[in-house]
A = this chain, B = another copy of it.
Amino acid sequence: MKRKKIIGVMGPGGGATESDLANAEEIGKLIAKNGWILLNGGRKSGVMDAVSKGAKLNGGLTIGILPSDNLEGVSEFIDIPIVTGIGSARNNINILSSDIVVACGIGMGTLSEISLAIKADKKVILINNNNESKIFLNNLSWKKIGIAESPSEVAKLIKNYFD
């Protein structure tokens, strides 16, 4: 049996920019259209909510790995909430459960996920307008990080990785 690929999309909650949100929704849509499963942090906030919306409204399946120990604050666009009760320690579960990790925008939670992803030897794709973070992370990382300028480039990079 062949499992569908799981794409983890990470990004800021309250700190997400308009551009992060627009990118996230479009990435969610492309994930759904390509038949991949979306995984994210599950909350009704920022990039998590936007990417879930994009995937869900386009027929995708959405998994949310929640930090809290109950369903409060879950995005309405999450099909399967995983209630971890382990707070930010769940960031590592987000990473380990994703075949590919996309970071859409940047914030401290997202930065922890990018670092954990590289440490866990996951493929990472960055999409955001923060040039500093791209340069800094690429210099620090021992492996090439994918840099995308648009949601469609994110999807193209993902496809390349799977080929």
Contact = CB atoms under 8 A, between A and B. Distances in A.
Contact of A132 (B69, B83, B139): B139
**Oligomer: number of copies:** 4
A44 B97 CA distance: 17
A88 interface: yes
Contact of A120 (B65, B81, B88): B88
Contact of A89 (B37, B89, B118, B139): B89
Contact of A86 (B63, B89, B133): B89
A93 interface: yes
A120 B85 CA distance: 11
A: contact size bracket = 35 or more
A81 B96 CA distance: 10
Interface in A79-107: 79-93, 96-97, 106-107
Interface in A101-115: 106-109, 111-112, 115
Interface stretch (A1-9, A16-24, A25-33, A155-163): A1-9
Contacts of A69: 87, 96, 120
Nearest to A116: B112
Interface of A: 1, 3-4, 6, 37, 56, 63, 65, 69-70, 76-93, 96-97, 106-109, 111-112, 115-116, 118-120, 130, 132-133, 135-136, 139-141
